[in-house]
Structure 1
Amino acid sequence: MAIPSPYSGVSTLAFVARASAFSFGLVYGSMKLSYLKAKAKSHQKADAKGHH
């Protein structure tokens, strides 16, 4: 655990920045995943159409 310094405001800011970056990463990751899933689904549909 880090030793508390007189600049506790900065460490709080750093914590908030890390937390928001983490949540942004989660949101971005889930959006990208759903986009890739939808893309794969439409690709499968196009492949199925081509075979018939």
Structure 2
Amino acid sequence: MTLPPGLYSGTSSLALVARASAFGLGLVYGNMKLKVLKIKSMSQKTVEATTHH
């Protein structure tokens, strides 16, 4: 299946910019989500540690 030339053909500069910005946003979102998950797991561990004492 071939896509018709246009926005998503990968040859137009707009498609390249859109792809690059989507990639960048994905990296930022993934990084933030990892930080949030790490903070949640650390706080959960401290709660477990305090309840065991």
Matched with 1:19 is: 20
Equivalent pairs counted in the alignment come to: 44
Compute the RMSD of aligned alpha carbons: 1.5
**Per-residue deviation, residues 4-52 of structure 1 (Å, max 9, x unmatched):** x7xxxx7100000000000000000000000000000000000001100
Q: How does 1:1-52 map to 2 (within 5 A)?
A: 11-52=12-53
Identical residues among aligned pairs (%): 57
Structure 2: tracts of 5 or more residues without a match: 6-10
Q: TM-score, normalised by structure 1?
A: 0.80
Given residue 15 of structure 2, which amino acid in structure 1 is its aligned partner? A
**Which structure has more helix as a fraction of its residues?**
1
TM-score, normalized by length of structure 2? 0.78
Give, in whole Å, the separation in 1 of the partners of 2:14 and 2:41: 40
Identify which of structures 1 and 2 has the higher relative contact order when contacts are C-alpha pairs closer than 8 Å and 6+ apart.
Answer: 2
